[in-house]
Structure 1
């Protein structure tokens, strides 16, 4: 369980239990004199609302100063010429789709290509190196190729770093490295804010520039 999920779950449980105790004691919020007693519960629920939604609402977003990157992104991977790509492997460019799920305190990314079921992130970080309006997203990932490709493309790990500019970026650039001794550049374009796609085909269906597989 991620830190953000733990925080939201803890805040929700604590606020709900606190509210239940007040009600059992007969301290109903409809009575003005008891309203102050519900402030801790309101703060607990407020933490959840802020973490999941409110932090990127227009007026608040300028104060939080954190880029909103939630959504489905088209990503073009361009392996470097020095990459150790096996015979029959795809030397690129490779089209993939990255789904990013973001809250104020958490970030998770899943990359899907035609040859892999998913590459799931771990240890994701979001930093602003020089407070210049450019942010860097970094994470490790575990790639699981489809069974038919595993003889030449086994399961592997990698690292990725993405640079975004502004609070609501529509494009981004980055680079990646893998344990198979491959590396390359990445170019991103935001397609939409949805995060429900579970396969490469589903994400590709939303891409107006995609060539049907």
Structure 2
């Protein structure tokens, strides 16, 4: 799968070339109808690009051509810290219940993990092929974790990275591992709760703020 930025650049170049060819071939002498059409063409193209980024790429048939998994939504997560993690004596050794909210368009992705003790926000995220597989990909994201103040004495803010296996174009479960700069590591399992992103976390489980959307 080609990087999204490569697709954007290629599309922009192609559209620009076509538009220039139309202007050149017409000799810049247009009838009233053609002038109106050309005036609206850039706007229509922009609307088309925005619609594709937000919705069209997930449509049946289109998603197969786009080749980008749709993982946006709210996920129930369970974190399993490894026994070798450098966890303070009074720290949480798991399993830890959390909520993961993934906001995704074709070209962008933002990930939030909320537990009863802290919140993690992604600083970068990408989906790439897993080796030569046609159906399996890897979601990699780096994040910044900010514990609640009450937990700061035993859990300091830190940076981390997670790798999750993504199988299929509309998976309902994700699994993988994580590691952090405070020398902790472990496994992470996600189960899809909703395709909506209007959920917030309670102490141990997600609660819905508005209607669920699948």
TM-score, with structure 2 as normaliser: 0.77
3-state SS in 2 of match to 1:181: coil
Please tell me whether the aligned partners of residues 72 and 203 of structure 1 are also in contact (alpha carbons under 8 angstroms). no
Q: For residues 201-212 of structure 1, what are the structure 2 equivalents within 5 Å?
A: 204-206=206-208
State how many pairs are aligned: 179
- Aligned CA RMSD, in angstroms, stands at 2.2
C-alpha separation between the residues in 2 aligned to 1:199 and 1:174? 21
Report the equivalent of 1:40: 42
Please tell me whether the aligned partners of residues 201 and 207 of structure 2 are also in contact (alpha carbons under 8 angstroms). no
CA displacement at 1:197 relative to structure 2: 2.8
Distance 1:47 1:203, change over 3 A: farther
Report the equivalent of 1:120: 121
Give structure 2 stretches of 5+ with no counterpart: 13-31, 209-214
Report the equivalent of 1:99: 101
After TM superposition, where is structure 1 displaced by more than 6 Å over at least 4 residues in a row?
none
CA displacement at 1:198 relative to structure 2: 4.2
Q: For residues 160-199 of structure 1, what are the structure 2 equivalents within 5 Å?
A: 160-199=162-201
Deviations for 1:21-61, whole angstroms, at most 9, x for unmatched residues? Answer: xxxxxxxxxx8543344222111111111111111011211
3-state SS in 2 of match to 1:58: coil
Q: 2:148 aligns with which of 129, 146, 166?
A: 146
Report the equivalent of 2:112: 110
